[in-house]
């Protein structure tokens, strides 16, 4: 998680790392054995119970209960509400995906984008930048259109990159919730063409994020936020954008066993989503490096 939060202390990294580890366990469990919607709901019920203040009832909920209090302790109520909402939305994503599979539905690409904003957990990961920076957003600032647009753009960019690097991992289970595999199906196109579509979207989403950050600066001035507070809020926004580069590094790191390359290595088109080159286009690795140096 230090790639997502390069300025975090070890104490700050520990609880969010534990939460993400639990999320991986849950995600893998539903990938390996596809339950019925009712079975999925039963497995998730105890997790949502913990978020509602109930006692844990199984291993997953005990793990969540162990970390949940430490994540919320000492945080302002406005942040706790946002974090609770975003973690809850993330924990509902396996249910949505199981229902899709059980009904034989192959989500349209627009619908897939909607769900992936939650299923990767990006929103609660972005919330945690407020903890790391020490700047908690008041509700009126959190609701500014620039912050909303920025969070959506970052979530979409991170998800599309993950879909490219995980498509070979998800293909054996059908690929109902992977952009590359869905694009192949809906557009009857080749893998390289589908990845090319993903690369174009990665460029677009990064551009959206940078645009939203610029608009946010104007909006903070429009609502007459004090000058020092404006700078603090923009540091949170900059940390959001820097997460895009951290996500690239995470997927490219050979030590990350979650995305072990398929036999023969990664197809050229997949690494092209963030090529190590001298180019500075917004979707390239060099481009995101430049963005990170600007926004961190």
Residues 211-238 have a mean pLDDT of 96
Q: Into which CATH architecture does domain 10-294 fall?
A: Orthogonal Bundle (1.10)
Rounded-to-integer distance, Cα 58 and Cα 111, Å: 32
Residue 281 clears pLDDT 70, i.e. is over it: no
pLDDT reported for residue 260: 53
Rounded-to-integer distance, Cα 225 and Cα 181, Å: 45
29: which 2 tokens? 């469990």
Residue 104: pLDDT band with limits 50, 70, 90: confident
199: which 2 tokens? 């690369």
The torsion angles phi and psi of 183, rounded to 5 degrees, stand at -65, -40
Residues 36-65 have a mean pLDDT of 94
The torsion angles phi and psi of 67, rounded to 5 degrees, stand at -95, -25
pTM reported for the whole predicted model: 0.86
Domain parsing of the chain, residue ranges: 10-294
Higher pLDDT, 259 or 193: 193
Rounded-to-integer distance, Cα 2 and Cα 13, Å: 7
Higher pLDDT, 167 or 51: 51
Residues 201-211 have a mean pLDDT of 95
Least confident of 29-33, 41-45, 183-187, 208-212: 29-33
């Amino acid at each position: 998680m230090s790639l997502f939060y390069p300025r975090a202390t070890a104490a700050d990294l520990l609880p969010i790392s534990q939460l993400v580890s639990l999320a991986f366990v849950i995600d893998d469990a539903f990938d390996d054995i596809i339950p019925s919607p009712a079975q999925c709901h039963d497995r998730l019920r105890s997790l949502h119970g913990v978020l509602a203040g109930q006692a844990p009832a199984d291993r997953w909920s005990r793990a969540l209960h162990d970390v949940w209090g430490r994540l919320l302790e000492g945080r302002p109520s406005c942040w706790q509400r946002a974090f609770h909402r975003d973690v809850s939305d993330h924990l509902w994503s396996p249910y949505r995906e199981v229902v899709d599979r059980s009904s034989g539905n192959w989500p349209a690409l627009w619908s897939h984008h909607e769900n992936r904003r939650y299923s990767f957990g990006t929103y609660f990961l972005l919330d945690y930048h407020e903890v790391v920076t020490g700047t908690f957003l008041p509700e009126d600032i959190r609701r500014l259109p620039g912050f909303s647009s920025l969070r959506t753009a970052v979530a979409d960019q991170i998800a599309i990159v993950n879909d490219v690097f995980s498509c070979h991992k998800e293909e054996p289970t059908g690929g109902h919730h992977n952009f590359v595999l869905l694009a192949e199906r809906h557009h009857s196109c080749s893998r390289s063409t589908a990845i090319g579509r993903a690369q174009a979207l990665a460029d677009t989403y990064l551009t959206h994020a940078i645009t939203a950050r610029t608009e946010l600066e104007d909006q903070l001035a429009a609502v007459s936020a004090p000058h020092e507070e404006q700078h603090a809020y923009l540091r949170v926004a900059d940390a959001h954008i820097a997460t895009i580069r951290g996500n690239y590094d995470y997927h490219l790191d050979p030590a990350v066993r979650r995305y072990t390359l398929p036999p023969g290595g990664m197809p050229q088109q997949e690494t092209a989503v963030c090529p190590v080159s001298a180019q500075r286009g917004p979707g390239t690795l060099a481009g995101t490096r430049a963005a990170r140096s600007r926004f961190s």
